[in-house]
Structure 1
């Protein structure tokens, strides 16, 4: 609003000077004009009488020779004078009423009379006809029923208009809405061109967590959610630790023969600079000898055990089968002074620098200064860097493959790894300083919106996508985000076209700070843990959605049946479906992704579906739109479109099927496979020990049999329910409806029983003792199924077999108890 559009009017207390200071107000009177006619106001009777008396006296005095009419007027009594206006008003109203009666009421009555006489005649004939047919009361009721049947038939026949059948309390073949018709309509709303344009636009904006680009991106998504009709859309701000690189950092040899180029693409903008998110900065320059330790695993250190690593700087390659944060911890445990990460070579590009988180995710994801609790506001308790178990205690910095090779070539002797020599500890002196800007409390933004359910709105599924990136993030975050936005548009378009409201709610969350120890997703969960445990029953992750040609499905066992059914309905090439291209279907939730806190903090069954396979420079400025185009990964955005359709079908199934489509028999069968795998793993450890302990698995096996029996009983009830609904034409009695609601409640409560309430866990971010990852488990290993029974495996790995047996027994009793309470209605 312009400042001169509005001026406040002066009051009586306004000063003259103030009025003259404003030209628009100077012409206004300082007080309202006086009025002297107060015919009907008690407070002014005296004034009126005085005025009338003066007027009357003056008239008589002037008219002594010529009589005037005023001299002979009879003064009205005071009562009549006071009520003269009321009397006149009454007379006018009577006159108006008479005119309205004569001109409107009587003519209309004359018109209606013949109609009424005709109605009476028809009614008399109707009554005579009824008497001829039989008992009038019975015949009238039969005619009423017939009329209603005709009316209902007409409405059902002519009000279809392409809509999807359904509504609260009504079914079509045991379902609320015609799910197949909804799902088959998805394709008409998918726009590949729009996704391509969004991908190019998003890739033109660096959006490092907590920066202006990140906030701009968040507001864009917020606007998209609102414009597509999502409910409860909000920019959910939280506070967390972040750090940012500066040009003051350096890494060089003391003799001047080498100076690392700590930026990409000959560009020193912040997003191009080398740093590790959550890394420790240095106060003063660090210097020392350096040693190459391959991928930085314990096995690698064992191979150079003759080298004293105390106060040495270790060079470690990115990649391998353990997280980078674990590599820093292992180096710290070997008394190294610092870590220099070497980025792998990508194609012909040897100056790529990847920026990868070194916050200790395997201890607790989220803000590294508030491990295990929410940092949602500025008043949350924050640990010092030294006391937090999630913070690295030695500094680290990444360099390019080209610079890494230059340093390693100067090493002599030592252990010969597959590519380079470790060195013997007597290397040139390396000097470096890390001058990151640290923000202990910095604003970050999740963007949240929802489609509210109509029948069980308190239950819902969550669709999440990583938004932030250490640079442009084309494949690492943007491929998921463009499909995420398209998915929102598709589902809300179905709502508008078919007047569809899902039975249960759908929540969409664009997560910030994924590259900072999964900060956005973890803090969002930690702020609403109890609610999610009671109400959430599926999480779908859409991060790095299209990075290759291999269809990869990572699914909780209880979800696999529905996922496979949906795969068989999505066409990819002619008559081929996604099921025909041999997708890899696993349950390996060990990677660095936003499903980690959903599994380990609230045990919500999770799902990840993507195209992967090509090696790309994730977390680097070389992960660009130009590279995406040159790689020919998805130029026409067909893979994006297929995944949007597939996920839409899965979502519709999970929110619209009256009984949540969990498969407990499949879960029991898969857990039996995991139990055999656990025995195999334990035996591999025990066989190398002199004293061989014995672990007993009988109780665990019996509990899994109980779970399978319970699953079969539930399947039997579900079949009976579907048969009844089909035979009844879609009508569900209140008792069946109540039982169905109780089954759905029990399914979610079943998941909740495997979350420990123990506050003394060594790893505060890991509460699930049915699924999860042991601290030292390798990434994406096919040797054992590390994602099951994590606490048991961890104790076995530590050779603590007594605790392992206790954990096996606790696991068995929990499965038994959860199974029996699930079947109880």
Structure 2
């Protein structure tokens, strides 16, 4: 889709998405009119013009004469003695060279000596405020004093400005593709420009979106007239067309007219729940299911299972939430994506390929495996209880019965506005690296929200802006630029199957495989006081070092806080399973990811209009913005370490050690699956072969550590001077480390999961929606093997295990050859 020019937005920020006819094309260039020849009206003035030209010529000559007498002659008289002195010394220089030998050879040697001396002193003594060399033909091994640069971070964080930005971003609804979303995208772009980001990509993408449409044409009610659900969170005084308050699921299917049928409670809608209903002789065919949000599987997977068991539609029951003053809110509506994200992230009509500019094949709705095949709509907890209390028989889930009522049926209709191609906007700014600019660290934040999104998305956007301000200020203060490039990305379409980040990746997938070496996610960063850290094993040591350097204000480091909240354990999880922008970075590219955040002990009302600035303030989530400030300090240090360390700070030994525990986990998982299946023809699973390949990885880690130690010793012994040849060798090792990640991207993805091609890390289809504390299963490892085990395709699981062993052996051998 070609780049469009949008009308300037006024301050009222309309809530509706831009209509197609509101998107104005760029106006054509105006043609200049050129006249040939003189018109008759000008001929009579020709004599006057000649007289004026004569006077101008006379004045010009007089001015030139004055310049010659007053300026040129005095300067010439000053230069003449200097020129005579130059001729004398030049004659002495030529005579001296003749005594040494061939003048041409001697002059060339002296020229080389002069240039070498100039370069040496330029690189050795061109010292900036960080106390280190700024680079050159020879450069310091640790090009900048990282710790000295990091000392500035705490004083640079402005909590007052962060809170103002948080309130501003929360002042308008910003569903993806709406005017509020576009306004914040433009604001992010201007913020980058104003802070000195030179390279900014305002990236427009055409993607499928849907919005709640005519409120009167969407309803859920009982056919006897005794009840109708309130499908809106609209407060008193709000306009009827304020669509952000209306009930809908992103990527939901509409009904064809009205649906009528018996309704059944299906608990959390898991396979076990459906099997329990089936065992209880409850027929699910053409029934309307009441399903709770949450539980052990993503909500989109519940829709797929509902279709499998023949349901006509699903009504999701939202959760109730308690605010800081003890008030329970049971009337909010959560709007959750029901596109089948575990099949493929991104635009639901282009699963597995980019929906960017130009000609793109888009699947019709019924052919896309990513689209929901039965209609869905969410209702509040309060309305859900009103429906459930009418069910008095059937299978019992806790205190609640599931049985359908013969007399009472639900009549429902869903009419959302669906747009197959609608613009959404990513805003990506970058600071170019000075040594290896092709290598990129990416920091990404979701910008869009189904309503106001204070904690769900805005905390991440605010912290992204603060990081931009800090690193551009670092450039100005120390004349600094990172060794490798830093990308700051504000992603759109996160509520629509992670469309913004996925389509951005798919349009530059091969480039990112070669160049991306780390991704930091900034979703829902501050929702409480519990420190949570997730990381690829490569980066755990670096993260612990950074946490140990940031104080929480109580004479303790954040590493101490992490230990105290995890029974003395420095626990860093690798379970990246939630619906966040790290999913496509891991599953499509195998780029190591990091998430650091403060979460709460209770869930917050994400994806509802209750997630607003007023609730953030009332519940005292982070009243003095202390946790926001701590997160900024941690992330700033992590970014600096990743972008500035001479060697990319991957810890290969940590990966090898963790891999051994991951192998034990998948072996236990396999034994559980095999033990529950009575089939006798199960293939051998060669876990020992994979363990042997990890031994090769451990050997490579040892060799790499030895090389790294020798490199550091050489640089120190050389007075912090790194010869160009050694620097080029170091850059090659960085290339090898990044290439290691790409080895595990399969060229032959699973037929039914085109968005998941990473054989080593990634989320399996049946993994939980979030990992509860105490769950020791490594859900983010060996995704295809777990999928094949879950679907009883054991031969394919065995083949993938063998393939993975070969890939690990090959990748480990190439990290650093002896």
Q: TM-score range by the shorter chain?
A: 0.7 to 0.9
Q: CA deviation at 1:612?
A: 0.6
Q: CA deviation at 1:170?
A: 5.0
Q: Are 1:315 and 2:290 an aligned pair? A: yes
Q: TM-score, normalised by structure 1?
A: 0.84
Aligned match for 1:34, one of 46, 52, 70? 46
Equivalent in the alignment of 1:335? 310
Q: Residues 714-793 of structure 1 correspond to what in structure 2 (within 5 A)? A: 714-758=704-748, 761-781=751-771, 782-793=775-786
Equivalent in the alignment of 1:55? none
Q: 1:119 to 1:453 in 2, by over 3 A?
A: same
Equivalent in the alignment of 2:427? 447
Q: 8 Å contact 2:138–2:723 — kept in the other structure?
A: no
Q: CA deviation at 1:777?
A: 1.7
Q: CA deviation at 1:35?
A: 4.6
Q: CA deviation at 1:383?
A: 0.2
Number of residues paired by the alignment?
741
Q: What are the superposed Cα offsets for residues 130-149 of structure 1, whole Å, 9 maximum, x if unpaired?
A: xxxxxxxxxxx99xx99x99
2: distance between equivalents of 1:687 and 1:680?
Answer: 10
Q: Are 1:625 and 2:613 an aligned pair? A: yes
Equivalent in the alignment of 1:249? 218
Q: 1:783 to 1:575 in 2, by over 3 A?
A: closer
Q: 8 Å contact 2:547–2:559 — kept in the other structure?
A: yes
Q: 8 Å contact 1:253–1:428 — kept in the other structure?
A: yes
Q: CA deviation at 1:757?
A: 1.1
Equivalent in the alignment of 2:270? 297
Q: 8 Å contact 2:440–2:484 — kept in the other structure?
A: yes
1: distance between equivalents of 2:800 and 2:627?
Answer: 43
Aligned match for 2:190, one of 223, 237, 242? 223
2: distance between equivalents of 1:630 and 1:778?
Answer: 31
Q: 1:154 to 1:659 in 2, by over 3 A?
A: closer
What SS is found at the alignment partner of 1:258? coil
Q: CA deviation at 1:425?
A: 5.7
1: distance between equivalents of 2:211 and 2:205?
Answer: 18
Q: 8 Å contact 1:169–1:731 — kept in the other structure?
A: no
Q: 1:675 to 1:104 in 2, by over 3 A?
A: closer
Q: What are the superposed Cα offsets for residues 330-350 of structure 1, whole Å, 9 maximum, x if unpaired?
A: 000000000000001112101
Q: CA deviation at 1:820?
A: 1.1
Aligned match for 1:240, one of 204, 207, 216? 207
Q: CA deviation at 1:103?
A: 10
Q: 8 Å contact 1:371–1:390 — kept in the other structure?
A: yes
Q: Are 1:804 and 2:797 an aligned pair? A: yes
Q: 8 Å contact 1:163–1:499 — kept in the other structure?
A: no
Q: CA deviation at 1:227?
A: 0.7
Q: Are 1:609 and 2:584 an aligned pair? A: no
2: distance between equivalents of 1:151 and 1:457?
Answer: 22
Equivalent in the alignment of 1:206? 173
Q: CA deviation at 1:166?
A: 3.0
2: distance between equivalents of 1:183 and 1:117?
Answer: 53
Aligned match for 2:415, one of 427, 435, 441? 435
Q: 1:493 to 1:427 in 2, by over 3 A?
A: farther
1: distance between equivalents of 2:261 and 2:403?
Answer: 14
Q: TM-score, normalised by structure 2?
A: 0.85
Q: 1:189 to 1:13 in 2, by over 3 A?
A: same
Aligned match for 2:368, one of 367, 388, 400? 388
What SS is found at the alignment partner of 1:539? strand
Q: 1:393 to 1:377 in 2, by over 3 A?
A: same
Q: What are the superposed Cα offsets for residues 665-724 of structure 1, whole Å, 9 maximum, x if unpaired?
A: 110111110000111111112223334534221211110110111111111100100110
What SS is found at the alignment partner of 2:726? helix
2: distance between equivalents of 1:110 and 1:393?
Answer: 90
Structure 1 residues without counterparts, runs of 5 or longer:
1-5, 16-27, 40-84, 128-140
1: distance between equivalents of 2:205 and 2:543?
Answer: 34
Q: Which has the larger radius of gyration?
A: 1
2: distance between equivalents of 1:187 and 1:503?
Answer: 22
Q: CA deviation at 1:159?
A: 6.9
2: distance between equivalents of 1:114 and 1:328?
Answer: 90
Q: Residues 156-195 of structure 1 correspond to what in structure 2 (within 5 A)? A: 165-168=133-136, 170-172=138-140, 174-195=141-162
Q: Residues 324-473 of structure 1 correspond to what in structure 2 (within 5 A)? A: 324-347=299-322, 348-377=328-357, 379-424=359-404, 426=406, 428-473=408-453
Q: Residues 145-156 of structure 1 correspond to what in structure 2 (within 5 A)? A: none
Equivalent in the alignment of 1:599? 586
Q: 1:702 to 1:250 in 2, by over 3 A?
A: same
Equivalent in the alignment of 2:24? none
Q: 1:120 to 1:530 in 2, by over 3 A?
A: closer
1: distance between equivalents of 2:663 and 2:288?
Answer: 42
What SS is found at the alignment partner of 1:579? helix
Structure 2 residues without counterparts, runs of 5 or longer:
1-29, 96-108, 323-327, 564-570
